[in-house]
Structure 1
Amino acid sequence: MLNRVILIGRLTRDPELRYTPSGVATTEFTLAVDRPFTSQGGEREADFIPIVTWRQLAETCANYLRKGRLTAVEGRVQVRNYENSEGKRVYVTEIVADNVRFLERPENGGQQLERQDPDYSIGVSDDDLPF
């Protein structure tokens, strides 16, 4: 069996960093992914897909990702459920990411950085990495 997803899209908001009671870091953010077709009115449509990251990846995403950044996510689909305060069963479908790539450099003082670096495709240089 196989459960693997690769998405490329833009963040709709900054990642939210939280910690579990046992101290494990987690972030949540939403990725807007364009559909490969337009609507009858000629407008592009997108899917808004919830992404979850854990541990070191969560902290890296919280530190380096921002709303609007083009990002690639690789992971698996997870469906979980819980009972809400009204006693109704709620189902949540999300992507649990195990690999996130920054496809654009962050803006520097309001101006986009030059795209001459051969490592540009991953979006960060060795100096930007926290490890």
Structure 2
Amino acid sequence: MLNNCVFVGRLSSEVELKYTPNGHPVAVFNLALTRAIPDKNGEKKADFIRCVAWGKVAENMANQLSKGDTIGIQTRVQTRNYENQQGQKVYVTEFIVEGFPTFIKVKKWESGNGNSAQKQKKSEAQNFPTADPFFGYGQGQPIDINDDDLPF
């Protein structure tokens, strides 16, 4: 069996660090993931998932990250249940952080520096080519690829 999810998204909340009665650190945060395919109106929607980290990873995340930062994490899905005050069974699905391989601090542009921020953003975009090999091709446009270039 395999229970492994890798996400790259933005923190949509601050990382909330707490400690269990036994002193174990636990962090809870929400991650916003933008869907790759836009809806029928052309808008890209986002999903918000609840994530939980334990131990040193929880402390590092709480100390180093803030709302809006882009992070990459490795998780596993966990579903737990409890009975609420009305006696109903409630199910909670969470993504438990098992690896915290990377995080990317995104510079927040200051207002009032629009011109210099736009120039810096443009120069950064020119220095870093996109990882998408099909970047620039329009939807439905044919792509000219030689059969000898295909790995299969």
TM-score (norm 1): 0.79
Can you give the 5+ residue segments of structure 1 that lack an aligned partner in the other structure?
116-131
Aligned identity (percent) is: 41
Displacement of 1:25:
0.2
Q: Is the 8 A contact 2:70 2:106 kept in 1?
A: no
Task: Give 2:82's aligned amino acid.
Answer: Y
Q: Match of 2:145?
A: none
Q: Match of 2:128?
A: none
Query: Matches of residues 48-127 of structure 1 in structure 2 within 5 Å?
Result: 48-100=48-100, 101-104=102-105
CA RMSD of aligned residues (A): 2.4
Q: Is the 8 A contact 2:75 2:99 kept in 1?
A: yes
Displacement of 1:55:
0.6
Q: Match of 1:34?
A: 34
Displacement of 1:7:
0.4
Task: Give 1:47's aligned amino acid.
Answer: D
By percentage of residues, which structure has more strand?
Answer: 1
Cα distance in 2 between the residues matched to 1:58 and 1:88: 31
Larger radius of gyration: 2
Task: Give 1:66's aligned amino acid.
Answer: S
Displacement of 1:105:
5.4
Displacement of 1:75:
1.5
Q: Match of 1:12?
A: 12
TM-score (norm 2): 0.68
* Matched length: 115
Can you give the 5+ residue segments of structure 2 that lack an aligned partner in the other structure?
118-123, 125-152
